[in-house]
Amino acid sequence: MSTVQESIDVAVPVAAAYNQWTQFESFPEFMGGVESVVQQDDTHLHWTAKVAGQTREFNTVITEQTPDERIAWKSIDGVGHAGVVTFHRLNNAESRVSAQFEWIPDSTTEKIGAFFGADSAQVKKDLKKFKDFVEAQGPTGAWRGDIDSPPQTGGVF
């Protein structure tokens, strides 16, 4: 299992950073390898991504969402992963976006990449692109609903 933790400060209020992050279908604009995200309902997303030269499709479920604070998810098929993005107010005009997730590299290429930190480097690059994206145009929409965390039964998967 590989764990990634990265943060970035953005020059937008925390609500603007959070609002943009809830626009999941815009992820290909700033996430490398993500070809599309289709939001099927309030909690389910279908992803198409290119990882290590291979196209992968998988589904995730949002397990917790609190406006301006956090969004947590886990995979329900395909690549095993789970994580959380948190939003922290620095002042009225700036916020910190922190991403933490765990995933199970599948192929030899993915395992080697994770060992050498390629996954962390990609997330750092994606957060920088998110920063540039949201600072340049502001949020493109928002979803402000709450999703309560289910009781923990052990493990993230």
How many domains is the chain partitioned into structurally?
1
- pLDDT of 144-153, one tens digit each? 566 776 655 5
pLDDT at 67 over 90: yes
Is 98's pLDDT higher than 60? yes
Residue 53 is predicted with a pLDDT of 79
Mean of the per-residue pLDDT values of the chain: 86
Pick the closest to residue 63 from 149, 144, 143 (CA basis).
Answer: 149
**DSSP three-state, residue 144:** coil
For residue 80, give its domain range: 2-137
* pLDDT score of 114 more than 70: no
Q: The domain that contains 85 carries what CATH number? A: 3.30.530.20
Please report whether residue 155 resides in a domain.
no
Within a domain: 142: no
For residue 148, is it within any domain? no
Q: What percent of the chain has pLDDT over 90?
A: 60
- The candidate with the shortest Cα–Cα distance to 88, out of 118, 68, 109, 106, is 68
pLDDT of residue 41 exceeding 90: yes
Q: For 78, which DSSP code?
A: S
Domain contains 152: no
In a domain, residue 102? The reply is yes
Residue 117 has what pLDDT? Answer: 72
Rounded Cα–Cα distance for residues 37 and 14 (Å): 23
| Residue 64 burial by Cβ neighbours in a 10 Å radius (0-12, 13-18, 19+) | middle
Q: Is the pLDDT of residue 154 over 60?
A: no
Q: Which carries the bigger pLDDT value, residue 59 or residue 110?
A: 59
Token pair recorded at residue 82? 């789970």
